[in-house]
Structure 1
Amino acid sequence: MVRHKNRYILCEIIYTDNKRIERHMTDYMVYGAVISALQTAHGDFGIGSLQSSLCVKYVNPITSMVLIRARRGAHKMVQSALYFIKKIGQYEAFFRTLHLGGTIRSCCKFLIKHHKQKLPKLLSECKDEEERRKVQEIISSYSDEYKKEQLIASF
């Protein structure tokens, strides 16, 4: 058997209206936007070379994160086509590439680090004391896990 080498592109969807609401976003909507941008940027060659390997593996409408799989080598066409996306479904939005990885696991590790870095910013944006307490609990649980990881790594 031959191993298919893929690249995984972790992207954040940034909405132009800057509202922090949950939007109904599906993988089919993201896939359609990527395919149309690929057609615009690279034409039939881009569609043909990525038709069998292009896949949207993960979409989270709450955190606005998307994971796109593409064949290694042709992933550069996907990355360049992402800049042409201005609308996903009925939402005005664009992509910001956060990480390019060889496995889903490496992208998940990066995503966890990314969310840990964003938590202190969320603390300053809390509207009431209940939200603030929940975010503080999450931050403290992450710092406890980090201390345990450092202790284990030192042995």
Structure 2
Amino acid sequence: MVRTKNRYIVVQIRPATAMKALHMKDHVITKCVLHNVKKYYGDYGLGIIEKGFRIKYCNDSTKIAIIRCAHRSHKYVQSTLPFITMIGDVRAKFCTIYTGATIMQCNKFIIKHQQQVLDRMVGNIASAKERNDFIKRVMEFEIE
């Protein structure tokens, strides 16, 4: 049996207006990406990416998603993502931040990326008391 190779694309969804949490479901993002691939590459492009395409992870609070697609079709998906301006009924865009061969490498990248974002946010806080309060709030954050 032949192993199918996949590529995992880590994207950050950036809404046009500032939102605390982006309430997106997997099927909304899937429908949006498939529609745009069909728009730019036609039935041929849609047929190529449909086999291995799936949204593996979507986090509303960090606005990060992982898209899985077949190895031979990931370039169709990656080249279409910058042209997407509407996701469902929200005006937003995709920013590709990493492409990996395994989902474990993508998870490692996301952890490192979020740590850098947190370090930047903590660095912008002037007083030590506010910085400690911010770190305490982040550590007590519970994912629902």
User: Is the TM-score greater than 0.5?
Assistant: yes
Corresponding residue pairs, total: 137
Cα deviations by residue, 1:128-155 (Å, 9 ceiling, x for unpaired): x88732543599xxxxxxxxxxxxxxxx
What is the alpha-carbon distance in structure 1 between the residues aligned to residue 39 and residue 67 of structure 2? 18
Cα 1:77/1:131, change in 2 over 3 Å:
farther
What is the alpha-carbon distance in structure 1 between the residues aligned to residue 130 and residue 22 of structure 2? 21
Cα 1:125/1:61, change in 2 over 3 Å:
farther
Who is 2:142 aligned against?
none
Q: Tell me, which stretches of 5 or more residues in structure 1 are unaligned?
A: 140-155
Who is 2:116 aligned against?
117
Flag as ranges the 4+ runs of structure 1 deviating above 4 A: none
- Aligned-pair identity in percent equals 36
Cα deviations by residue, 1:61-105 (Å, 9 ceiling, x for unpaired): 100001000110210000011122101111100000000000000
Two-structure CA RMSD over aligned residues (Å): 2.3
Cα deviations by residue, 1:26-59 (Å, 9 ceiling, x for unpaired): 1111101101110111110011011111111110
Cα 1:16/1:137, change in 2 over 3 Å:
same
Look up the SS of the partner of 1:108 in the other structure.
helix
TM-score normalized with structure 1 length: 0.80
- The reply on whether 1:11 has 2:11 as its aligned counterpart is yes
- The reply on whether 1:84 has 2:90 as its aligned counterpart is no
Who is 1:64 aligned against?
63
Q: Tell me, which stretches of 5 or more residues in structure 2 are unaligned?
A: 139-144
Larger radius of gyration: 1
